[in-house]
Structure 1
Amino acid sequence: MKKKQRTSRTKARSAAELDARHDAGVDLSAHMDLDKSARPGRAVQRVNVDFPVDVLREIDQEARRLGVTRQAFIKVRLADSLVKSH
């Protein structure tokens, strides 16, 4: 009978050991499979939006100033507007 090969990059650790390492501030990212991670309730749906060229220039300028992408800037500004309106 073949022994099942491990696909993990790290050796198996108990929950208690991982808890202790977390409490000590150790980076546990090597123990996570981020390819399968998801944020419950945060499904994404792609949309297309048309902007006037002059508005896009302003968005791009502000995004560069903040050091973020155009998409990140638009998402944050829309989210901020929605929070303020409630």
Structure 2
Amino acid sequence: MKAKELDKKFDEGKSIIEHLDLSKARRPNQELKRVNVDFPLWMIQSLDKEAKRLGVPRQTIIKIWLAERLNKSATV
């Protein structure tokens, strides 16, 4: 299928999913990079308490809270 035909189909609101190779699809800026951060013990304990309350891993709490803070800073 030519790009012009694909664009037309998309613009008409028709599904183009069968024409895409999703095995190679990537979301920009979503690649993971491991970092090491040292926290004081009291922070670890507080993070673990909140993680247990929500039933999620500690890492999830850290990611969510950092994302919320960064989003808030970006809108100011």
- TM-score w.r.t. length of structure 1: 0.54
2:51 to 54, 63, 66: 63
- For 1:51 and 1:41, the matched residues in 2 are separated by 26
The number of aligned residues is: 54
- For 2:49 and 2:25, the matched residues in 1 are separated by 33
2:60 to 61, 72, 79: 72
Aligned to 1:41: 29
Structure with greater contact order relative to length (CA < 8 Å, sep ≥ 6)? 1
- TM-score w.r.t. length of structure 2: 0.60
- For 2:37 and 2:27, the matched residues in 1 are separated by 25
Deviations 1:21-44 (CA, angstroms, capped at 9, x unpaired)? xxxxxxxxxxx87xx764343111
Structure 1, unaligned runs of 5 or more: 1-18, 20-31
User: As a proportion of its length, which structure holds more helix?
Assistant: 2
Q: 1:60 to 1:85 in 2, by over 3 A?
A: same
Aligned to 1:7: none
Amino acid aligned to 1:82: L
2:42 to 39, 42, 54: 54
Q: Which of structure 1's runs of 4+ aligned residues deviate more than 3 A?
A: 36-40
Q: Identical aligned pairs, as a percentage?
A: 48
